[in-house]
Amino acid sequence: MTTTLAQTVVAGLKARILDGSLGPGVKLPSEAELIEEYGVSRTVVREAVTRLRAEGLVETFQGRGSFVLAVPEPTSFTVEASAIRSQADVLAMVDFRMGIESEAAYLAAARRSPAEAEAVREALEAFTAAGPEEAVEADFAFHRAVAAATGNRFYVDLLDSLGPMMIMLPRTRLPEEFSLTDAAHVERVRREHDNVAAAVIAGDAETARAAMRVHLGNTRRRLR
C-alpha cells in the first residue's frame, strides 16, 4: 500500500518536473506540504523523494531539502529485439546482463534504503504470484527493482533501455523441457529470485552479487 501511494506522489511530482512547473534548481515542496497535498504519511513522501532521486530528477542536501535537476536526455543506448537474431546473440546478452546486474545486486544490497528493500520484496511477491502471461513483465520488474535499489540511475536507465525484451528473448529460446508451465523449472527460477532478494534485503552485498551471478549463469546453462 505504501508503495502504491508513493507512486502517486512520484507521478504527480514527476509530471510537474517534466512540464517545467518545477524547473531545474527549484526546491521541492517541503515534507509537510507534500503530506498535506497528497494526504499521505511522512514515510510515503520520503519513499517518493527517494525514487525521484534514483531516477536522477532531484538531488537532496542534508538540512536544505531536495532540488530539481535538469531533466536527463533520453538514453542513446538501445537494443532492438530484431538485432538479436541468433542463439549466440541471446547468450551474449545474458553474459552482458551478468556483468551489469551482478554488480547492481551488490550495490543494491550495500545501499538500499528501507523503502527500496520493501520495493524489492514486493516485486518478488508479484513475480512469485504471476501467471505465465504476466511472468515476463513481473520478472523484468523484479530486476528493475534491484537496479533501482542501487540509487544509481544509470543502472535503471540501462535496464529500461533493454526493457522486458531482455527477459523474453531467453525464454523464447529455452529448450522445450524448460517451458513456463514446467513446475520444476518455474520453482528453480523462483528460488533463484528468492536468493537474490533475500541477500539484497538483508544488506549482504557479496551474497547478492553471487546470487545474481548464479541466477543468470543458470539461465545461460539452460539456454545451452
User: Does 73 map to a domain?
Assistant: no
Q: pLDDT of 128-169, one tens digit each?
A: 998 888 888 999 999 999 999 999 989 998 998 888 888 877
For the chain, the domain total comes to 2
User: Does 11 map to a domain?
Assistant: yes
Q: pLDDT of 115-131, one tens digit each?
A: 899 999 999 999 999 88
User: Does 76 map to a domain?
Assistant: no
> 0.85 exceeded by the pTM?
no
- In this structure, the answer to whether residues 37 and 115 fall within a common structural domain is no
Rounded CA gap, 90 and 92, in Å?
A: 5
Concatenated DSSP letters for 18-51? HTTSS-TTPBPPPHHHHHHHHT--HHHHHHHHHH
Count CB-CB contacts under 10 A for residue 144: 20
- In this structure, the answer to whether residues 189 and 210 fall within a common structural domain is yes
- In this structure, the answer to whether residues 167 and 215 fall within a common structural domain is yes
User: Does 74 map to a domain?
Assistant: no
Domain at 15, CATH number = 1.10.10.10
- List the domain range (segments joined by +) for residue 121: 81-223
User: Does 158 map to a domain?
Assistant: yes
User: Does 75 map to a domain?
Assistant: no
